Amino acid sequence: MSNSRRSSVPQWANWSGGVTCTPQRIATPASEAELIDLVRQAARIGATLRVAGSGHSFTPLCATDGVLVSLDGLQGLVAADPAAHQATVWAGAKLYALGDLLWEHGLAQVNMGDIDRQALAGAISTGTHGTGRTLGSLSTQVVGLRLVTAAGDVLDCSPAHEPAIFKAAQVSLGSLGVISQVTLRLLPAYYLHERTWVTSFDECLAQLAEQIENNRHFEFFWVPEHDERLPLVKGYTDQEPPQGRLARYVREERIDRSYRIFPSERALKFNEIEFALPADAGSTCLCEVRQLMHTRYPDVVWPIEYRTLAADDLWLSPAYGRETVTISVHQAAELPYQPFFADVEAIFRNHHGRPHWGKIHSLTARELAELYPTWDQFQGVRRQVDPGGALLNDHLRVLFGR
Ligand SMILES: Cc1cc2nc3c(=O)[nH]c(=O)nc-3n(C[C@H](O)[C@H](O)[C@H](O)COP(=O)(O)OP(=O)(O)OC[C@H]3O[C@@H](n4cnc5c(N)ncnc54)[C@H](O)[C@@H]3O)c2cc1C
């Protein structure tokens, strides 16, 4: 095989510790050329291959007993084009490192999620998102990418070149090949003004539409422990703080570079289920989950997170074709979550929710195909690019039905 660095103990675990595997080997190519060599040699001996980012998915997307590729050796910027508001980035780049690098070129990501620990390709491969009614997931920020297919072919994809493969690859769960470079659509560097305040559950719901409409980013956490009296509401804005009643409740306020405002620390380990729902079902669905927790799971203390996401046209994006609300439910990593998440999932599914690919769910190919109008297009591209299924693992075989 190539001279890629090998780890001495080939064991791998995800962030929450809920997924572990023993790959035949873990390879960390130090360059794109090494990556291509590694993939070609794996293809020659018929080895299966998975690629991992930062291992922050709760589902066994990366699990393999074949070759596990880490792109931790492919970090940083390939090139920045401030005039075009674009930059090409090595796919293994961690989001936390990207902020400073882009800022030096007067650029910043359009939106980010709750944390910045993910690798760029890992984040886009599951449709990772933040919040904002007019803002799409990180996958929608991608305007081009380079894919090393299971056969070791190198494909540069964009809306102009290999457009079908590009659209499929924007959210592809590592099933089309190893993404080695990503070109991002960016904004001129900008600051954000964050306010966090406390309000009652009922007041929060009454103001929901207005807050979502009036703020670039709006989300809130409902904290079950405090029931109706103390849900936590969190808003980001680059507008003036609101006047009047709400201002009296402001608990915390800060202004900083955008990439420093978006992420938060996640010191405690947890497991998570999140579904993307049609936006107009969001508040009803939340009330049903809250009712479930009050009646059947009163011991769960972890908050529920409520966010918004613009519709997009990416084939496997949970926000495909519809304005979206995402609702996330958590449980401590050391506690059982199965019956609780199964009941929550039933509520989500009743509202035609689509699961976050990186978070726990039980859906299989038949059910997923019903939720995605472009399911067959995606599967067609996947079979074309990886006809032998070298990039599949047990989890993906259940998701894709082969
Ligand atoms: C504490 C925490 C907070 C989170 N917050 C959010 C949030 O705010 N919003 C949200 O949407 N999600 C969130 N997530 C979920 C997380 O963003 C996704 O699961 C994301 O995919 C993880 O990125 P990763 O780099 O760890 O990728 P991994 O979990 O390692 O991999 C994810 C997928 O990407 C593929 N992949 C990785 N690298 C490549 C590559 N180079 N080429 C091709 N495929 C590749 C893998 O094969 C796999 O299918 C959170 C997760 C945790 C643990």
Q: Which CATH number covers residue 305?
A: 3.30.70.2520
Give yes or no: residues 300 and 268 share one domain. yes
Which residues share a beta bridge with 67? 25, 49
The domain in which residue 161 lies consists of 77-189
Query: Domain for residue 164, yes or no?
Result: yes
Q: Are 372 and 322 in contact (CB under 8 A)?
A: no
Q: Which residue, of 19, 45, 70, is where some domain finishes?
A: 70
Ligand 1 centroid to residue 249 C-alpha, Å = 35
50 phi/psi in degrees, rounded to 5: -130, 155
User: Is the pLDDT score of 393 beyond 80?
Assistant: yes
Query: Domain for residue 380, yes or no?
Result: no
Q: Which pLDDT tens digit goes with each residue over 222-247?
A: 888 775 544 455 556 555 444 444 44
Enumerate residues 6+ apart whose C-beta is below 8 A from 249. Answer: 197, 198, 199
Q: Which residue, of 189, 209, 232, is where some domain finishes?
A: 189
Give yes or no: residues 185 and 226 share one domain. no
User: Is the pLDDT score of 5 beyond 60?
Assistant: no
- Looking at residue 121, its pLDDT comes to 98
Give yes or no: residues 300 and 180 share one domain. no
Give yes or no: residues 209 and 199 share one domain. yes
Q: Which band of pLDDT confidence, cut at 50, 70 and 90, is reported for residue 119?
A: very high
Give yes or no: residues 308 and 263 share one domain. yes
Q: Which pLDDT tens digit goes with each residue over 268-311?
A: 999 999 999 999 999 999 999 999 999 999 999 999 999 999 99
Ligand 1 centroid to residue 178 C-alpha, Å = 14
Q: Which residue, of 169, 189, 209, is where some domain finishes?
A: 189
- Looking at residue 178, its pLDDT comes to 98
Which residues surround ligand 1 with Cβ inside 6 Å?
Answer: 15, 50-57, 61-62, 71, 91, 113-115, 118-119, 121-123, 125-126, 128-129, 173-174, 178-179, 266, 356, 358
Closest atom of ligand 1 relative to the 357 alpha carbon: 19
Domain count, the chain: 3
Ligand 1 centroid to residue 139 C-alpha, Å = 12
Enumerate residues 6+ apart whose C-beta is below 8 A from 243. Answer: none
Q: Whose CA is nearest to atom 19 of ligand 1?
A: 57
- Looking at residue 266, its pLDDT comes to 85
Q: Whose CA is nearest to atom 12 of ligand 1?
A: 128
Reference 361, options 324, 326, 309, 321; nearest CA is 326
> Stretch 25-53: mean pLDDT, rounded?
97
DSSP assigned state of 378: H
